[in-house]
Amino acid sequence: MIRLAAVGDVHCGTDMPSQIRSQFASVPDHADALLLAGDLTRLGLPAEAQVFADGLRDLRGMPIAGVLGNHDYQSDQQDAVREIFEDAGVQMLEGGSVVWEMGSLRVAVAGTKGFGGGFEGTHATAFGEPEMKGFVEHTSSLAQRLDAGLQDVDGADLTVLLLHYAPVRETLAGEPREIFPFLGSYLFAELADRHRVDLVLHGHAHRGTERGRTPGGIPVRNVAQAVIQQGYAVYTLDPTGGSAGGGYESTAAPARSE
Amino acid sequence: MTEPRYEQEHIRQALATDARVGEPELSVEVVAGRVLVTGSVPSERVREAIDIVVTEVAPDVAVDNRVTVALTDEPSGEETIP
């Protein structure tokens, strides 16, 4: 059995060091690993990332993976933000994946920020102006990289897909429908279904709903902090029916770094 | 006087792009000379900055700031994913 703590959209500001430390101090009491679903910072400033990273100090040794969100790009310093989290021991995923040996289980996390476009039936198309093509191609290229990252971890006992943007409409319930194309893309649900992952986590949709499913039936959880209304959510997965897993003594083994 | 529907969008844009707030996810509604702002922000400092930014963009309307600071409590339970 594996217990995963997850939260997105923390929007850490430089005024929040004690808040961040307090929010994450209890994670080892509840979970074996922590997943951060983007929008880690409010304005994408390295100083904000450092406050968050410092707040994770007590979790040293615990497997932590994360993706960036749109807020983390706001100041065009996303590379510095990413590096600060990596220095703090967070496995930052941009289409890649990581495998953690946890007990006798190989637990894989594949991740990407994701992007917009919308959902099956009404997804934007790469047609017309270069700006429109660029919008759609950004999403497509992220999906292609993620496809490779998921292929790398085929055969893991358990695979979690970590996103910032939403992969399905269901977890957007509560958001204005007009902005759905800016909240996610079905391309990532299609990958989750094709690779038969066990769980998809995302953030970004503050007014959305926690629980949904891909068209193929895979559970999707919107862990935006404003949605879960707590410091982090905890999900228990047990691919063995209770005979394996637990603990996080083993080292992380990145399957693909980018 | 600015048409209320335009004014509410001007305010929404400011709350997204002004670094004192930087929250594009907030909802803004201007009704009868009053600005209702709802949503969630990460800290009290950001919540307080909403009043300042709205007043700068729309000095003639009263601000009704019903934005909440996101809860960060320890989880009360867990969900088993089948």
Look up the domain containing B61 and give its range.
4-69
Complex confidence, ipTM: 0.93
Which A residues 53-92 touch B at CB under 8 Å?
71, 74
Is A22 at the interface with chain B, CB within 8 A? yes
Q: What's the rounded Cα separation, in Å, for the pair A220 and A89?
A: 26
CB pair distance less than 8 Å for A225 and B73: no
Digit-coded pLDDT (tens) for A191-207: 999 999 999 999 999 99
> Is the pTM for the entire model greater than 0.90?
yes
Q: What's the rounded Cα separation, in Å, for the pair A15 and A113?
A: 25
CB pair distance less than 8 Å for B75 and A23: no
Among A165, A220, A229, which would you mutate to test the B interface (most chain B Cβ atoms within 10 Å of its Cβ)?
Answer: A229
pLDDT beyond 60 at A245: no
Strands (E), A183-257: 199-202, 211-213, 219-222, 233-237, 252-256
Q: What's the rounded Cα separation, in Å, for the pair B75 and A14?
A: 24
What pLDDT sits at residue B2?
75
Domain ranges within chain A, ordered by starting residue: 2-256
Phi, psi (deg, nearest 5) at residue A226 = -70, -20
Phi, psi (deg, nearest 5) at residue A209 = -125, 145
Supply angle C-alpha A16, A163, A245, rounded to 5: 90
Q: Which of B19, B17, B7, B22 is closest to B55 using CA atoms?
A: B7
In this complex, which of B22, B27, B72 lies closest to A74 when CB atoms are compared?
Answer: B22
In this complex, which of B72, B74, B78 lies closest to A3 when CB atoms are compared?
Answer: B78
Here the tokens at position A75 are 């100041």
Residues 6+ apart with CB under 8 A from A141: none
Amino acid B25 reads E
User: Rounded to a whole number, what is the largest CA-CA distance in chain A?
Assistant: 55
A150: Cα within 13 Å, side-chain hemisphere: 26
Give a yes or no: residue B75 inside a domain: no
Q: How are beta strands A64-67 and A33-37 bridged, if at all?
A: parallel
Give a yes or no: residue B55 inside a domain: yes
Question: Least CA distance to A240: which residue of chain B?
Answer: B82
List chain A residues with CB under 8 Å of B22.
Answer: 42-43, 71, 74
Q: What's the rounded Cα separation, in Å, for the pair A209 and A102?
A: 30
What pLDDT sits at residue A254?
43
Give a yes or no: residue B47 inside a domain: yes
In this complex, which of A226, A231, A237 lies closest to B75 when CB atoms are compared?
Answer: A231
Q: How many structural domains comprise chain B? A: 1
Among B28, B38, B40, which would you mutate to test the A interface (most chain A Cβ atoms within 10 Å of its Cβ)?
Answer: B40
pLDDT band at A11 (very low <50, low <70, confident <90, very high): very high
Digit-coded pLDDT (tens) for A208-232: 999 999 999 999 999 999 999 999 9
Is B28 at the interface with chain A, CB within 8 A? no
- For residues A20 and A27, the answer to whether their CB atoms sit within 8 Å is no
Angle between helices A187-194 and A130-152 (to 10 degrees): 20
Give a yes or no: residue B45 inside a domain: yes
Cβ count within 10 A of residue A141: 12
* Beta-bridge partner residues of A224: A8
pLDDT beyond 60 at A248: no
Q: What is the least distance, in Å, from the CA of A243 to any CA of chain B?
A: 15
Count residue pairs from A and B with Cβ separation < 8 A.
Answer: 84
- For residues A197 and A161, the answer to whether their CB atoms sit within 8 Å is yes
Taking residues A173-200, what's their average pLDDT?
Answer: 98
CB pair distance less than 8 Å for B70 and A225: yes
CATH, residue B22: 3.30.70
What pLDDT sits at residue A37?
98
Taking residues B58-63, what's their average pLDDT?
Answer: 93
Give a yes or no: residue B74 inside a domain: no
Give a yes or no: residue B78 inside a domain: no
Q: What's the rounded Cα separation, in Å, for the pair A175 and A203?
A: 13
Assigned superfamily of A2-256: Metallo-dependent phosphatases (3.60.21.10)
In this complex, which of A10, A198, A233 lies closest to B75 when CB atoms are compared?
Answer: A233
Q: How are beta strands A219-222 and B27-31 bridged, if at all?
A: unpaired
CB pair distance less than 8 Å for B81 and A199: yes
Give a yes or no: residue B56 inside a domain: yes
Instruction: Tell me the helices (H) and strands (E) count for chain A, helix number first.
Output: 7, 12
pLDDT band at A252 (very low <50, low <70, confident <90, very high): very low
The alpha carbon of residue B47 and the mean position of all alpha carbons in its chain are separated, in whole angstroms, by 7
- For residues B50 and B21, the answer to whether their CB atoms sit within 8 Å is yes
Is A41 at the interface with chain B, CB within 8 A? no
Q: What is the least distance, in Å, from the CA of A28 to any CA of chain B?
A: 11
